[in-house]
Amino acid sequence: MKDPYRQWLRPLIFNRFKLDPERLHRQVIGPLAWLGQPGATQQLAQAWAQQQFCLADQRLVQSCWGLTFSNPMGLAAGFDKDGEAALAWSWLGFGFAELGTVTRWAQPGNPPPRLFRLVEDEAVLNRMGFNNQGSAALADRLAQIWAVQRPPIPIGINLGKSKATELAAAAEDYRASFQQLRPYGDYFVVNVSSPNTPGLRSLQAADHLDPILATLQAENHDQKPLLVKIAPDLSWAEIDAVIDLVTAHRLAGIIATNTTIAREGLKTRLLPSTGQPIEAEPGGISGAPLRQRSTQVIHHIYQRTQGHLPIIGVGGIFTATDAWEKITAGACLLQAYTGWIYEGPWMVKRLLQGLLTQLEQHQCHSITEAVGLATSLVHSRFWPWGGLPGSAPTVLWLAMSICSDSGLAARGLLAAKPGAEPVLLCPAILWFICPSCNG
């Protein structure tokens, strides 16, 4: 079946009419909120959506923090900031959804225009600035929705710092939001990595992050899973410092990663709506340009924690191959936002079908078996072939380990199917000797 979104709708939205992305986003939220409501007409729409967009298979089920995820693909924070469509996301095939980012105080965010498509790069530039109705309004809305029906999938809530709150008072700001929303979220995320609130990223530094995490855990009487979302632009030493704090405060995991402020390698040179060079435009970039770096960060966290800390991988997931690379790098769950915008509502089902194909090809019985597969091999926790150093498999293995993380999926294939090494030997040698081949 042809995908009507990719074939007809996306060209019209992105290229022909070039519809304003923020305005279109607001128009989409209304029908999605309607889809999740009870009612005879909604039931017909829900049945159609389930047939079109959903895929159930026991091999895709993930268990984490005492929660069951019907599949590992979730909606990232930023799309449903105020929880208006909280009941709709399961009908679109997602295994979980993350609401927010929400702040203690309602705030309008940064002035528009603040959301831009970079179509040539399959990316989005945003400088929204945590526009939302505030944690009290979200708590009231979820209380009303949950009283009638709680979503069948886990719901996370992403917490940010209010722009009006001084950095020194950030811990109390996060605590107040958490206190109001604690009954309604299945897990919570401390967002200290958005580039669009002045000074926010400085809260990733250990001396600033430590009191925030301590304050939240002191308030966490129900032992709700708490995660921290980090920026892709941190150095390895800075990421290690965050990992140490997460471990010390017994947080549930890390989300890797938020948007990037890097501009290297972009095809887009000028932002058409402003006429300014892309390097001069503030904001964070999501989508395909983030793909490789976010996978590298996932790989590093998994390696550093020996696979004991759950990781939600996000950044540049458009296809099953993208998802598989992040899973085998160490992510136990995934999230998409920009990829979903570009690929459309059929993306999740198509991606899940592709993951099942990957499981079969790698002789894995579940997603759980694939988590960290490539990273584990790089660490030589087991050696996929016998033989002495200097044998063809050994040389191939070393070559692929030296190459960038784009080779993670191939390394996973070689581990699960040792007989595949002759097939992959030629491209692996090209990777090794030709930097231009090493994407």
| Active site residues per annotation | 194
Residue with tokens 């939240």, as numbered in its chain: 216
Phi/psi at 158 (5° precision): -95, 120
Phi/psi at 403 (5° precision): -65, 170
Query: 384: Cβ–Cβ under 8 A, 6 or more apart, which residues?
Result: 377, 393, 397, 414, 415, 418
User: Rounded to an integer, what distance in angstroms lies between the CA atom of residue 383 and that of residue 391?
Assistant: 13
What is the rounded end-to-end Cα distance, in angstroms, of the chain? 31
Phi/psi at 19 (5° precision): -65, 140
| Rounded alpha-carbon distances, angstroms, from residue 107 to 84, 103, 113, 241 | 17, 8, 16, 31
**Edge-to-edge, what's the strand order for the sheet holding 123-126?**
115-118, 123-126, 284-287
**Which tokens in the block code for residue 7?**
């074939």
